[in-house]
Structure formats: C-alpha cells, structure tokens
C-alpha cells in the first residue's frame, strides 16, 4: 500500500468551492471532491503550527499540557511507526518552522526529508545592507523582503519547489510499494506572496500601498484594503490549487487511485477580517480558523464524491494512516481510524475538543460550539515537557528557575516530566470570555446564546473530554470547572 498527504498551512474552508465559496478559482479542489470523500465536520485539535504537527505524529492533543515545542522523547510518531514497520516515509516541505528550535525534532521521524527554503521570515539569504522597504499596510519583514528577490520566477517560489520535490519522489518511487509521501507547503499562510500570473486571475484594482501581510490585530484598515487582502489570499489559494492539480494528474497518469491513499489537510484557517480580526492566536478560535477542510481517498473503501457529517479532528489522521498500512495505533493515541467513517459515515465521537495552550478550551458537538474561557488571572497554568523549547529559543533561565519535577503523566511511558509555570499570555486575555454558539441558527458565530440547558450539557461534555485526554488538574481550576 501507498499513501500521499498534501498538507497546507492556513487553508480556509470557507474560501473553497467545495464548501460553498462562489468566487475563488480552485478547479482542482473541485476535482478532488469528485475523487475523494469530503468531510463537513472536521476540526482542528491544537493550534497553531507545530502543536498541530505534533498531533499528526502522536494522535493526541498537545494544547492541554504544553505550548509550541518539539517532539518529546516519550511521544509516539505515526511516521516513525510506519518507518519501523517497513514503510518508507518521506517529507518534502517548505514549512520553515520544522528547522527552528521549537520544531527541529519532527523531520527526523521520517526516513528522508527535503527542506525547501525561503518562506516568510526564513533566515535564508544573507544581505548585510537593509533592503528598501516600500510604503505598506500591515507587516513587512526584513528577511522576507530579501528572500523574495530570489524567487522572481514561478519555478523558484517555495511552493513550486516543494511540489517539484514531491513529484520527484513520485517519479522515482511510484512503481515501488510500501511508502508514504508528505508534500507540505507553508502556503497559503501569510504573507500572501504570489507572482503576477496568479494575481491577474482576479484583476482586483488597488492603488494603495503594499499589503499582503496583516498583523494579528483588530481590523483598522478601510473596507477596500480588507477586500484587497482577501483577493491576495485568493490568488495564493489559486496557486495552491494549481499544484494540487499536479498531484492529481500524476495519480491519474500512473493509475495510482487503485492502491494509494490520498489525504488533503491543513492545520488551521485564517481570519481575513471576519469578526473584525486579522489572523489567529490573538482572538478566539472561531470556525473560520477551527473548522477546517479535509479530504480523503481510501482505495480500500473506494468511496468517491461523497460527503461525511461525522465529527473528526486532526488527531484522527495518524491513526487513519497506520490503519491503512495494516498497523494498530498505539494505546497513547486518542484519535480514531476513519475507514468506517469514509465508508458509511460511522461516528467516532460525540464531541471534539480543541484549543491553544493558555487560551479557551473549546468543544463542539457539530451543532454547538462552547468556548470556555479561564476565570481570574488565567492561572495556574503549567507546561509539562522534557523539551523546554519555544518557537525560536529554549526556555529562559528565568522560566526554568521555577521548574519542578512532576510524576509521570498518563502518556509519558513512566517518565517524570518538567512542570514549568507559564508566563507571557496576558496579551490574550482581552478575548477570553466564555461563549456559546448555535451553528444551526448562527453559522457565522456573531451572536452568542444564553441557554443554561445547552451550556450544562456542553460543560459535562467538556469535563468528560478533559478527563479522557488526561488534562492536568489545574486546567479544571483555571477554567472554573469541577475536577472528576
């Protein structure tokens, strides 16, 4: 058996024609919908980037115990398990966080990997003299502005090079058996950088300053600027659609649909002015960021062009891959294999929990979304880890001075862990109010409801989910919930 996963970063469900968008140009996503099963209730688990990737590996939530950080010594990795059982695994990616301090242990879990440089602020090309920065809205990063000078042709852009690397693997290995390929592009993550050929697909007039990278802040730009940035995102989405088409073309040309699983996934979405916010992290995880697209072709099942309503989440992806290759997910994986869901919409859970470390703990049953905010000063809150590393640096000496050893957690395989008090989350508190939404009457989540019966039911579901995912006791305390 074989499997391909095409993974995007910040791919918005509500901007795809498969989910009702009528103005973006994405014919290959529509073509994918005809060849695969489309999931209508697929949610994130832990956000943002590297927490989501830890979930791909471990099939277990990250955000209840730790923030952004590396693969842990006690973690199970889907891709190591495949490799150890004779399945060759390869990663081709331009997601530069894999090569920073806080993500630098994930790519070693694969049999081989290819690192494509140049996305966002990747410290790639060295120029001592500062570049000329144009008048702009939002952000411009010095390093990003330098990097762009080296990608003025389509074939030189990171996404094009990433898919070329993936197709090279397919050309070399398509006739072999027992392999997994992960083609993972940072796009359509901001900055929404594309070349003119993609922007011209939309022909949106703009006479204002440079703007393709919003700050993670409240929207203060005028409506024309908001609309312009959405078109910038759409142009990058259309580039993503084009390269997805190259994978579909290869599968067609080599008759790979008969024995090759295809998964198309993302880590989370991105707010493009909805709820008067840009981006993610600073604000609640509304459905624009938390309710994400997911497509699967499973040759064992053979179902194409169908939709599934069952509630699924990122932690299900690893177990689904292991099951495809005839392997049993380890006991510490909480996600569920989805073959029966793909075949007949079999339910794997009543509710899905998701969130970001130190922010809301959210739960949905597919109709209601309950965002439980912390009470008081968002404390106590601790990291439980043996790899005390932030995105781009180790934990500081000041942070580690407060570290205490803690008894093994349920999933640490007998290893004690560091318990390190969390600091620096105060800037998020402005958006931490507890909220309850009814998606049946308010799909845009613009009007929180006050319904004691529904809230009581969602609280009970949340308490059960916290217990089943081995949440530390202080999570109940910071959320003002009774512990089991």
CB under 8 Å to 284, separation ≥6 — which residues? 275, 359, 360, 362, 371, 431, 435
Closest CA to 33 of 22, 17, 21: 17
pLDDT reported for residue 428: 55
Domain with CATH 3.40.720.10 in the chain: 2-345
Give the chain's largest Cα–Cα span: 62
Determine how many CB atoms are found less than 10 A away from the CB of residue 380: 15
Angstrom distance (rounded) from CA 11 to CA 202: 18
Dihedral sign (CA 136, 137, 140, 146) = negative
Residue 37, sorted as left (phi over 0), alpha (psi -120 to 50) or beta, turns out to be beta
pLDDT reported for residue 483: 86
Angstrom distance (rounded) from CA 20 to CA 7: 21
The structure's pTM equals: 0.97
CB 322 within 8 A of CB 47: no
CB 107 within 8 A of CB 127: no
- Encoding tokens for residue 304? 């194409």
pLDDT reported for residue 484: 78
Q: Mean pLDDT in each 10-residue stretch from start to end of the chain (484 residues)?
A: 98 98 98 98 97 98 97 98 98 97 96 97 97 97 97 98 98 97 98 97 93 96 97 98 98 98 98 96 95 98 98 98 98 98 98 96 98 90 97 96 97 98 65 92 97 98 97 96 88
Going by DSSP bridges, is the β-strand pair 404-406/417-421 parallel, antiparallel, or unpaired? antiparallel
Q: Phi/psi of residue 168, each to 5°? A: -60, -40
The CATH code belonging to domain 2-345 is 3.40.720.10
Angstrom distance (rounded) from CA 53 to CA 292: 15
pLDDT reported for residue 426: 47
pLDDT reported for residue 38: 98
């Amino acid at each position: 058996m074989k499997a391909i996963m095409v993974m995007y970063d910040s791919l918005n469900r509500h901007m795809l024609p498969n989910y009702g968008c009528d103005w973006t140009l994405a014919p290959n996503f529509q073509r994918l919908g005809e060849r695969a099963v489309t999931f209508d209730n697929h949610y994130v688990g832990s956000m943002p980037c590297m927490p989501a990737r830890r979930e791909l590996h471990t099939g277990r939530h990250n955000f209840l115990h730790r923030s952004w950080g590396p693969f842990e010594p006690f973690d199970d990795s889907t891709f190591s398990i495949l490799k150890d059982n004779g399945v060759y695994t390869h990663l081709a990616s331009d997601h530069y966080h894999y090569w920073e301090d806080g993500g630098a242990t994930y790519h070693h879990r694969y049999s081989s990997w290819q690192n494509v440089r140049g996305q966002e602020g990747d410290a790639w090309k060295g120029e001592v003299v500062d570049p000329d920065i144009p008048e702009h809205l939002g952000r411009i990063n010095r390093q990003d502005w330098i990097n762009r000078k080296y990608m003025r042709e389509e074939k030189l852009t990171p996404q094009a090079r990433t898919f070329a690397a993936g197709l090279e693997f397919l050309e070399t290995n398509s006739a072999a058996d027992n392999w997994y390929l992960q083609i993972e592009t940072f796009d359509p993550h901001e900055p929404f950088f594309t070349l003119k050929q993609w922007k011209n697909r939309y022909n949106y007039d703009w006479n204002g300053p440079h703007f393709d990278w919003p700050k993670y802040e409240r929207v203060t730009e005028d409506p024309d600027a908001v609309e312009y940035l959405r078109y910038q995102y759409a142009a990058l989405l259309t580039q993503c659609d084009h390269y997805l088409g190259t994978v579909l073309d290869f599968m067609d040309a080599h008759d790979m649909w008969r024995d090759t699983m295809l998964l198309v996934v993302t880590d989370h979405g991105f707010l493009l002015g909805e709820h008067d916010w840009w981006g993610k992290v600073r604000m609640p995880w509304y459905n624009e960021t938390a309710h994400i697209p997911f497509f699967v072709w499973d040759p064992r099942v053979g179902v194409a062009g169908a939709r599934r309503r069952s509630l699924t989440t990122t932690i299900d992806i690893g177990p689904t891959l292991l099951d495809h290759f005839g392997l049993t997910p380890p006991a510490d994986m909480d996600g569920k294999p989805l073959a029966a869901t793909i075949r007949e919409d079999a339910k794997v859970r009543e509710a899905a929990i998701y969130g970001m470390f130190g922010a809301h703990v959210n739960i949905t049953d597919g109709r209601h979304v309950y965002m439980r905010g912390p009470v008081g000063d968002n404390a106590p809150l601790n990291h439980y880890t043996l790899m005390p590393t932030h995105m781009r640096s180790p934990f500081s000496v000041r942070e580690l001075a407060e570290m205490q050893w803690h008894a093994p957690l349920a999933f640490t395989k007998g290893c004690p862990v560091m318990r390190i008090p969390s600091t620096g989350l105060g800037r998020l508190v402005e958006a931490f109010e507890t909220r309850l939404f009814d998606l049946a009457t308010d799909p845009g989540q613009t009007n929180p409801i006050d319904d004691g019966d529904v809230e009581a039911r969602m609280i009970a579901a949340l308490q059960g989910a916290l217990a089943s995912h081995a949440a530390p006791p202080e999570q109940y305390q910071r959320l003002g919930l009774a512990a089991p």
